[in-house]
């Protein structure tokens, strides 16, 4: 992309636009379905598939989501405004994270460290090879607007559309210096997001496992009580049994509250926010681009690995894909 951007920039814009429409429509379709059900009592009208010949069969909410998505992408092409570019970038991130699943912590760490090395090499050392920072050059390069090309071909007298910055990153305007932007690559959101999604699924698995173990133990205690009703137990033994049951129940509830409060997801999310803050401060102090993954990956992994080791879950997270489950359909996050 660094060498051939000028030759394929129109193709990049067209492919990005098509993917953006598809991603946004997939995100908006369930939302429109939910809101339409609030106003239309007959759900069959909303969910009924209509044959659109070349475009396949789609429901009314699908058609509406495609129209809105096409409108947003068209606004980005015509105006080139950073808000629409950020919306498209956020849509890419959500769809990618919802589709890709990391099977284990071992795979996650290999992926993260490989991308950290890739990020560091291209940000810090590419200027010694190519006499320029390749990562920054690619991220900030603008493409010719295809709207201008078609306007010239069709002899349409129209104001020249601005050049387009491809939505491979999120940009935030600086309030200190007008015209300057802070850039966060989509990879710096998606890659840690995959890990956060993994630990969120693991938290869901642990909660379901605890609930299952609690129900099994509760049913076992009920069976033991029924078998003991035929015997003449002393009052002291009955009180001791009741105290043991209360103690087990209290410990179980306390443990459940503690795990819910200090879940792996919250620990990783706090680490991500800390790493993002550190990367931003480093960029402001040194006044140059920083590889965000260099700060994000350690700040997420170190507390996560420490917490998993202390809780005894590290081996399960590390070695067993899908946490040893035969089917992970119940834990889709």
CA–CA separation, 149 and 84 (whole Å): 21
- Please pick, among 119, 144, 157, 203, the residue that the annotation labels catalytic: 119
Tally Cβ neighbours within 10 Å of residue 46. 18
Q: Are 134 and 122 in contact (CB under 8 A)?
A: yes
- Please pick, among 62, 86, 144, 188, the residue that the annotation labels catalytic: 188
C-alpha to C-alpha distances, 316 to 106, 185, 303, 329, nearest whole angstrom = 10, 32, 17, 18
CA–CA separation, 230 and 211 (whole Å): 30
DSSP state of 331: G
DSSP state of 143: E
The two three-digit tokens of residue 60, written as one number:
């009314």
Query: What backbone phi and psi angles, to 5 degrees, belong to 250?
Result: -65, -45
> Helices in the chain by DSSP H: which ranges?
5-39, 43-47, 60-79, 82-99, 105-120, 126-130, 134-140, 146-153, 187-228, 235-261, 264-286, 292-311, 314-319
- Three-state DSSP class for residue 327: coil
119 is catalytic: yes
Rounded to the nearest 10 degrees, the angle between the axes of helix 146-153 and helix 5-39 is 100
**Catalytic positions:** 119, 188
């Amino acid at each position: 992309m660094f060498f051939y951007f000028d030759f394929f920039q129109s193709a990049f814009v067209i492919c990005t636009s098509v993917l953006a429409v598809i991603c946004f429509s997939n995100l908006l379709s369930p939302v429109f379905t939910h809101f339409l059900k609030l106003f239309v009592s007959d759900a069959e009208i909303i969910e009924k598939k209509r044959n659109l010949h070349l475009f396949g069969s789609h429901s009314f909410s699908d058609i509406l989501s495609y129209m809105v998505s096409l409108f947003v992408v068209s606004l980005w092409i015509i105006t080139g405004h950073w808000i629409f570019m950020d919306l498209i970038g956020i849509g890419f991130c959500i769809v990618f994270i919802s589709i890709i699943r990391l099977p284990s912590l071992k795979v996650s760490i290999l992926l993260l460290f490989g991308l950290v090395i890739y990020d560091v090499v291209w940000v810090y050392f590419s200027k010694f090879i190519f006499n320029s920072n390749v990562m920054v050059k690619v991220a900030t390069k603008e493409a010719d607007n295809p709207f201008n090309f078609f306007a010239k071909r069709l002899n349409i007298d129209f104001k020249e559309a601005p050049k387009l910055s491809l939505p491979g990153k999120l940009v935030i305007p600086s309030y200190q210096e007008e015209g300057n932007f802070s850039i966060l690559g989509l990879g710096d959101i998606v890659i840690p997001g995959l890990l956060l999604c993994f630990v969120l699924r693991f938290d869901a698995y642990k909660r379901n496992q605890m609930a299952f173990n609690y129900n099994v133990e509760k049913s076992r205690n009920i069976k033991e009580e029924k078998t003991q009703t035929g015997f003449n137990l002393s009052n002291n033994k009955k009180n001791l049994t009741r105290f043991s049951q209360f103690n087990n129940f209290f410990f179980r509830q306390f443990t459940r509250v503690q795990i819910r409060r200090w879940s792996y997801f919250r620990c990783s999310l706090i680490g991500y926010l800390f790493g993002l803050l550190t990367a931003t401060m480093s960029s402001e102090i040194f006044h140059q681009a920083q590889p965000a993954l260099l700060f994000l990956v350690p700040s997420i992994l170190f507390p996560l690995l420490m917490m998993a080791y202390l809780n005894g879950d590290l081996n399960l997270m590390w070695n067993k894909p899908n946490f040893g489950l035969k089917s992970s359909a119940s834990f889709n996050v």
